[in-house]
Chain A
Amino acid sequence: MKLIVSLVTVAFCMSFISVQPSLQASMTRGKKVYDTYCMPCHMVDGGGVPRMNPPLIKTVYVLGDKKRLIGIVLNGLDEPLEIDGETYSNVMAPHAFLKDQDIADVLTYVRNSFGNKATMITPEEVKAVREEKK
């Protein structure tokens, strides 16, 4: 019994160790993408701009359905958006020119910054949404 518990513990720790570096690497790359393409509108703290650019902090758009989130980055957004009773008016341009890896990294960064905590997004997931659209 003890052996099993410690094996599980070791396995858990190992999986943590193996995930952690890739999360961190993705976060580091994602921050660069964020600072170039996202920060001008969504701001340094992810808080957005009242009435214009929506916040990325603990919203269902960021933490919820991954496909929708990936789709917003690929296709942009030009429809009224309401979060917590506030509406946001600025158009977001499509960012389909970014590579699958860049989009995965930046979304992983956003989903794990500004107080957010959520699973990573992989380049495969981005690719799947991109191909669905075609």
Chain B
Amino acid sequence: MRSSIPVFAGLLFLLVPFSLLAGGDTTKSANLTLPAGFSATVFHDNLGRARHISVAPNGDVYVKLEKLKDGKGIYKLVDADKDGVAESATGYGDYIGTGIAVKDGYLYASSNQDVYRYKINGNELGEPQRIVTGLINKRQHESKSITLDNKGNIYVNIGAPSNVCQEKDRTQGSPGRMPCPILDSAGGIWQFRADKTDQSYSEGVRYATGLRNVVGLDWNNEVNDLYAMQHGRDMLFQFYPGLFSQKEGAENPAEEMFRLKKGADAGWPYCYFDNSRGKKLLNPEYGGDRVKQGPCEDKTQSIAQFPGHMAPNGLVFYTDSMFPEKYRNGAFIAFHGSWNRAPEPQEGYFVVFVPMKNGRPSGKWEVFADGFAGPNKAQGRADYRPCGLSVGPDGALYVSDDNKGRIWKITYKK
């Protein structure tokens, strides 16, 4: 089951300077840097906290907001003349949140504790139907990302309201709790039926556990599995300066991509992926010393690793044909951008592409779209922060920003 590929890949990622990752010719479009042949339009602007997005089969773009705009938390953007710029924005719902997904004629959207769905009737949305309720919302890692499979199930991430399940959260020297009680109701992905009302923990299935916080997740239709991007823990250098240099603290732990089967356990809070060692190791709060693996050897291993703290907030698999062949079945990841790397320069604030074959990375990742942050990226003062991704019916890639609420549409022409 274990393989040396992710280890090797993890090391490879770290050895390649960021600037070289884009590779090949690039072009500037709508202030973004993209591979040659691609261009971007500002599809819509100034929605504020635009988190995840989902494009319906008719091309309408639904956006979930983390802060109400004019009293509404969901916006539908319509580009009737197909010029790459929406002419109208219609608001729905009066709750904030992150998750949104269009599937089989329904719109699904999440608040920070519930999930709702709406029947899409032509240009109108039906009345909201609450399908999931009462999920843990303790401010930290509170967003509930969603995705659906092809068998009528919805997957909801419930982030752990904690950094690493210490007795006292984010407190130096406080030991990790054993076993971690948070895992009973958070720190994983729960599965619910997409068509049943008012389900909560007792009606749901803890599909995957040991995930600190996931914001980007997607169902991979090529291999029919759930994929998720985990945000790794904070404060390795600050809490353990004897184990990690400042630079190692900035690069560790890895942000990880998981392929999750039912029953998967990714190891949080006991384990972290050490980018410098290329392995999942025991967290220092649980007695780790950067050598001991303990139970981490037998946990679900990630299939790709990225430098620390870049915050992967959006994940989408590209199965369309507008983009060149190399993008087929690969993954786009929106990295929201780091804060826990100071005083090292902050990183992320870009959209990455991972080529994939049969559900596994088939080459090294590269920066696909950059330039969101603007001139003050190193200080973490970004103009725009990529958050959500979705692919339209024409094969275009949409990217949302939750700093100012800009939506880009990225297309390709030979």
Contact yes or no, A93 B342, CB < 8 A: no
What is the chain B residue whose CB lies nearest that of A50? B403
Contact yes or no, B170 A53, CB < 8 A: no
Q: Which residues of B contact A37 (CB under 8 A)?
A: 238
Number of interface residues of A (CB under 8 A): 24
Complex alpha-carbon distance, A74 and B340, angstroms? 22
B134 to chain A, nearest CB (A): 20
Q: Is the interface of A mostly helix, strand, loop or mixed?
A: loop
Residue in contact with A40 in the complex, picked from B342, B379, B381, CB distance below 8 Å: B342
CB within 8 Å of A: which of B13-55?
none
Q: Which residues of A contact B340 (CB under 8 A)?
A: 40
Asked if B255 CB lies within 8 Å of chain A CBs, one says: no
CB within 8 Å of A: which of B157-177?
168-172
Complex alpha-carbon distance, A44 and B381, angstroms? 11
What is the chain B residue whose CB lies nearest that of A87? B139
Complex alpha-carbon distance, A49 and B379, angstroms? 11
Complex alpha-carbon distance, A41 and B140, angstroms? 14
Complex alpha-carbon distance, A89 and B137, angstroms? 11
Contact yes or no, A40 B238, CB < 8 A: yes
Q: Which residues of A contact B142 (CB under 8 A)?
A: 89
Q: Which residues of B contact A40 (CB under 8 A)?
A: 235, 238, 340, 342
Complex alpha-carbon distance, A39 and B346, angstroms? 13
CB within 8 Å of B: which of A40-65?
40-41, 43-45, 47, 49-53
CB within 8 Å of A: which of B229-254?
235, 238
Asked if A72 CB lies within 8 Å of chain B CBs, one says: no
A57 to chain B, nearest CB (A): 12
CB within 8 Å of A: which of B364-385?
379-381
Contact yes or no, B342 A43, CB < 8 A: yes
Complex alpha-carbon distance, A53 and B163, angstroms? 14
Complex alpha-carbon distance, A89 and B381, angstroms? 19
A96 to chain B, nearest CB (A): 10
B130 to chain A, nearest CB (A): 24
Binary per-residue interface labels of chain B (54-81) against chain A in the complex, 1 for a CB within 8 Å, 0 otherwise: 0000000000001000000000000000
Complex alpha-carbon distance, A40 and B309, angstroms? 12
Contact yes or no, B170 A52, CB < 8 A: no
Asked if B287 CB lies within 8 Å of chain A CBs, one says: no
Q: Which residues of B contact A89 (CB under 8 A)?
A: 139-140, 142
Contact yes or no, B343 A39, CB < 8 A: yes
Q: Which residues of A contact B339 (CB under 8 A)?
A: 41, 43, 49, 52-53
Known: A39-B343, A80-B139. A45 touches B171 (CB 8 A): no
Binary per-residue interface labels of chain A (3-39) against chain B in the complex, 1 for a CB within 8 Å, 0 otherwise: 0000000000000000000000000000000010101
What is the chain A residue whose CB lies nearest that of B49? A51
B35 to chain A, nearest CB (A): 29
Complex alpha-carbon distance, A14 and B242, angstroms? 46
What is the chain A residue whose CB lies nearest that of B385? A50
Asked if A91 CB lies within 8 Å of chain B CBs, one says: yes
Of A39, A50, A80, most B-chain CB atoms within 10 Å: A50
Q: Which residues of B contact A39 (CB under 8 A)?
A: 342-343
Known: A40-B238, A52-B339. A93 touches B172 (CB 8 A): yes
Complex alpha-carbon distance, A47 and B380, angstroms? 9
A80 to chain B, nearest CB (A): 6
Of A40, A43, A45, most B-chain CB atoms within 10 Å: A40
A13 to chain B, nearest CB (A): 38
Task: Beyond the given A43-B342, A91-B169, A92-B170, please list 20 additional residue pairs across the A-B interface where CB-CB is below 8 A.
Answer: A37-B238, A40-B235, A40-B238, A40-B340, A40-B342, A44-B343, A45-B379, A45-B381, A47-B381, A49-B380, A51-B66, A76-B171, A80-B139, A89-B139, A91-B170, A93-B168, A93-B170, A93-B171, A94-B168, A94-B171
B-side residues, CB < 8 A to A, are 66, 139-140, 142, 168-172, 235, 238, 339-340, 342-343, 379-381, 403
A-side residues, CB < 8 A to B, are 35, 37, 39-41, 43-45, 47, 49-53, 76, 78, 80, 87, 89-94
